[in-house]
Structure 1
Amino acid sequence: MYERVLFPTDVGEPPERALEAALDIAERYDAELHVLTVVGTTRVSADVETGPALEQAERTGSATVDTLVERLRERGHERTVGAVVHGRPHDGILSYAKNHDIDLIVMGTHGRTGLDRYLVGSVTEKVVRLSDVPVLTVRHRLEA
């Protein structure tokens, strides 16, 4: 049913519940598991030096993806692929999914509501609305 599963994540700590769900599905269907980080490249004023910041974001994104790919392979899922792309996060995820024939996207969600969601926006929400393939959202655990 699923041959290629995409797990997009921010840099730093991945949403563990979403990662576990993506791994479980990939193992169940013997699917490739793609780990993706999108380095945001929104346009900044011409008088702002963005080169070093972009290079640092690229290094951090690559380190995050490399760490996750290694971790998943150590757990026995050899069919794991890592990638870092540039652009607006939801556009990068959707383009990657289309260009790599992804069958399912598994994403974490922060569970924001109300004004916070409206002002901050949600990459996950945009992907859910615009994706041509199914998107499984996994909510982060709420602190008690």
Structure 2
Amino acid sequence: MSSKMAASNVLMLKKAGDKRQEQALLVAFKKADSDGDGKLTVDEYFRILQDHSINTTKEEISNLMEIADKTKDGYITRAEFMGEASAQTKTQEMVEKAERAFNIIDRNHDGYITKSEMLQTTKKLTEKQIEAVFERNDRDGDGKLSKEEFTEMMCREKR
């Protein structure tokens, strides 16, 4: 068997394992969510652990939930339980990545990206493509991209 085929088989097994683990977590969440409201309270979390003979206290569950409760609403949602990042977290990460990229491309650190700076930094884009980027995203028409214009461009949903 070739090494490419072996690697492919390993990836397929991992993906199948991940899918089974995800399904098991979803079943566990649905079992714990006794009132079916899509979120777990301390009592629901505590009860499901007790049902599985996991000795813990409500205080320990409360502390655990405080860490897992990313939205700080006092509940563990399905997304939090499954380890999915919230839309707010994803947006913040995108903004931070865009700002880091902006700081790299803005070579003279004047707070703007010029076509020349973009051309020097992004070797994968042609002059014509950079012209199109500026035409679409330079909202105030000053011939350069501000941090806000650049961040908005980078965070916009791809079509």
Query: Higher strand proportion, which one?
Result: 1
- TM score, norm. by length of structure 1: 0.25
**Which of structures 1 and 2 has the bigger CA Rg?**
2
- TM score, norm. by length of structure 2: 0.23
